[in-house]
């Protein structure tokens, strides 16, 4: 008798044991999924498992074709990710199968030690593989979500705004990496070419940390802007960032920096020859 | 062989690069320009590279060098109309062209030259 036959013969008993285990661990579902849904999933997986085991021969678990189960796991993992489960909870769903399976094997082969050992080993191997696949699928789904969000973030994060005639501003929010800087630089430079703006202000108030790499990126952007014939001001330098830059020994060279956007705009207006008056506060 | 024309407007020389700048053409231009500055006693040089789509480090350095040479000959030089892609390429190549004055377009470049002459 192999695992497949055992499964076919004792499916009802194993399923009942599994359901019991699931119910026991379902205390921490926190309303994210109903028991009914959980049972439906368990049934679905048990059916597919029997199907997959049927394709194996006596050689052990290497020959089992898990393709049918992979489709199930993908779907299962997608739901789990959406419902906000973590990988541990997802794995528990599969590993709950272990106890009922072992119980069945033990009951059936209590006087046949060699069969008991063989089947126990096969069962361990099977459940472990299933668990790994479930976690693997869960991980893939999570990564897909992260990748999508990163992509969206990249598109969201490079707005070039016009502050005044001939003055553009680019507020940066979040960490600057090479990829983002590249897109940021291209967007800003293209806009400068389009609008023939004389001054571009890069506001880094929303950049949490500045390391040598980020400083390097900023200097590159400023240099490119200067090469095109426009001026660049970096604003929103916080005290901590000023300290970091100096401690790191980064030479900002001729880059004009201002503490906040208002100062930068005032300087930009002065350079473009716009006269402002303090009295009214408004300038239009 | 292609030769880049050098136009004279008062005491400013105007160079508009409309073709792909091969190494040979660029070196010829450097020669012609320095000779011309000396001959007419130009006080300003404006190099328009708005049609230039591709650069390598050699061309980048050559433009920077040309501008430094003009300065030695007492002619203020402005490079105008650099495209975004060209600017990014030069920065990535590490050719930052320190000391070269730049402007967004010919008009602003001319204004810059006029201003710097006033300051003298």
Contact (CB<8Å) A189/B87: yes
In this complex, is the C-beta atom of B91 within 8 Å of any C-beta atom belonging to chain A? Answer: yes
Contact (CB<8Å) B104/A189: no
Q: Which of A192, A224, A230 sits opposite B88 (nearest CB)?
A: A224
Q: Using one digit for the tens of pLDDT, what is the confidence trace for A229-272?
A: 999 999 998 888 888 888 888 887 778 899 999 999 999 999 88
The residues of chain B scoring below 70 in pLDDT are 1
**What's the predicted TM-score (pTM) here?**
0.64
**Three-state secondary structure readout of chain A:** CCHHHHHHHHHHHHHHHHHHHHHHHHHHHCCCCCHHHHHHHHHHHHHHHHHHHHCCCCCCHHHCCCHHHHHHHHHHHHHHHHHCCCHHHHHHHHHCCHHHHHHHHHHHCCCCHHHHHHHHHHHHHHHHHHHHHHHHHHHHHHHHHHHHHHHHHHHHCCCCEEEECCEEEEEEECCCCHHHHHHHHHHHHHHHHHHCCCEEEEEEEECCCCCHHHHHHHHHHHHHHHHHCCEEEEECCCHHHHHHHHHHCCCCCCCEECCCHHHHHHHHHHHCCCCCCCCCCCCC
Q: How many percent of chain A have pLDDT more than 70?
A: 92
Which 8-state DSSP code applies to residue B94?
T
Contact (CB<8Å) B87/A196: no
In this complex, is the C-beta atom of B104 within 8 Å of any C-beta atom belonging to chain A? Answer: yes
Q: Of A69-83, A149-163, B7-21, give the lowest mean pLDDT range.
A: A149-163
Interface test with A, best of B50, B59, B87 (most A CBs within 10 A): B87
Contact (CB<8Å) A186/B96: no
In this complex, is the C-beta atom of B84 within 8 Å of any C-beta atom belonging to chain A? Answer: yes
pLDDT for position A181: 82
pLDDT for position A157: 67
In this complex, is the C-beta atom of A224 within 8 Å of any C-beta atom belonging to chain B? Answer: yes
Contact (CB<8Å) B91/A227: yes
Q: How many percent of chain A have pLDDT more than 90?
A: 18
- Chain B residue numbers with beta carbons less than 8 Å from the beta carbon of A186 are 84, 88
Q: Which of B84, B92, B102 sits opposite A189 (nearest CB)?
A: B84
Burial class, A183, CB count within 10 angstroms (exposed 0-12 / middle 13-18 / buried 19+) = middle
| Interface contacts A/B by beta carbons within 8 Å | 55
Q: Which of A190, A196, A198 sits opposite B84 (nearest CB)?
A: A190
pLDDT for position A126: 86
- Chain A residue numbers with beta carbons less than 8 Å from the beta carbon of B81 are 229
Q: Is the pLDDT of residue A25 over 90?
A: no
- Chain B residue numbers with beta carbons less than 8 Å from the beta carbon of A158 are none
> Pick from A229, A202, A198: which is nearest to A217 by CA?
A202
Distance CA A152, CA A145 (A): 11
Q: Using one digit for the tens of pLDDT, what is the confidence trace for A91-117?
A: 888 888 888 888 888 888 888 888 888
Q: Using one digit for the tens of pLDDT, what is the confidence trace for B8-42?
A: 988 899 999 888 888 888 889 999 999 999 999 89
Q: Using one digit for the tens of pLDDT, what is the confidence trace for A110-145?
A: 888 888 888 888 888 888 888 898 899 999 999 999
pLDDT band at A177; cut points 50, 70, 90: confident
ipTM of the complex: 0.81
CA distance A207 to chain B (A): 22
Q: What CA–CA distances, in Å, run from B99 to A162, A185, A225, A241, B68?
A: 28, 22, 14, 28, 8
């Amino acid at each position: 008798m192999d695992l497949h036959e055992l499964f076919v013969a004792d499916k009802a008993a194993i399923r009942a044991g599994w359901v019991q285990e699931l119910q026991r661990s379902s205390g921490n579902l926190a309303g994210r999924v109903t028991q009914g849904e959980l049972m439906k999933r368990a049934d679905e997986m048990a059916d597919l498992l029997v199907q997959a085991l049927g394709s194996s021969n006596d050689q052990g678990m290497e020959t089992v074709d898990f393709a049918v189960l992979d489709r199930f796991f993908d779907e299962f993992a997608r739901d789990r990710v959406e419902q906000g489960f973590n990988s541990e909870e997802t794995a528990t769903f599969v590993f709950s199968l272990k106890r009922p399976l072992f119980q069945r094997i033990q009951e059936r082969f209590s006087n046949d030690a060699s069969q008991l050992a063989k089947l126990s080993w096969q069962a361990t191997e099977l459940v472990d593989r299933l668990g790994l696949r479930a976690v693997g699928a869960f991980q893939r789904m999570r990564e897909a979500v992260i990748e999508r969000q990163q992509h969206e973030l990249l598109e969201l994060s490079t707005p070039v705004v016009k502050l005044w005639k001939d003055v553009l501003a680019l507020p940066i929010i979040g960490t600057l990496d090479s990829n983002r800087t590249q897109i940021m630089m291209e967007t800003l430079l293209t806009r400068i070419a389009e609008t023939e703006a004389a001054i571009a202000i890069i506001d880094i108030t929303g950049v949490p940390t500045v390391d040598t790499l980020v400083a390097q990126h900023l200097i590159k952007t400023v240099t490119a802007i200067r090469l095109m014939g426009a001026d660049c001001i970096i604003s929103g330098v916080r005290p901590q960032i000023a300290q970091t830059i100096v401690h790191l020994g980064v030479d900002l060279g001729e880059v004009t920096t201002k503490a906040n956007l208002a100062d930068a705009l005032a300087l930009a207006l002065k350079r473009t020859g716009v006269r402002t008056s303090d009295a009214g506060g408004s300038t239009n | 062989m292609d030769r880049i024309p050098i136009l004279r407007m008062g005491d400013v020389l105007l160079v508009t690069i409309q073709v792909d700048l091969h190494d040979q053409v660029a070196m010829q231009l450097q020669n012609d320009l320095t000779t011309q500055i000396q001959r007419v006693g130009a006080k300003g040089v404006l190099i328009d590279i708005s049609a230039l789509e591709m650069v390598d480090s050699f061309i980048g350095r050559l433009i920077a060098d040309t501008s430094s040479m003009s300065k030695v000959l007492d002619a203020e030089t402005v490079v105008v109309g650099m495209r975004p892609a060209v600017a990014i390429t030069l920065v990535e190549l590490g050719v930052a062209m320190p000391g070269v004055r730049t402007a967004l377009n010919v008009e602003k470049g001319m204004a810059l030259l006029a201003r710097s002459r006033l300051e003298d």
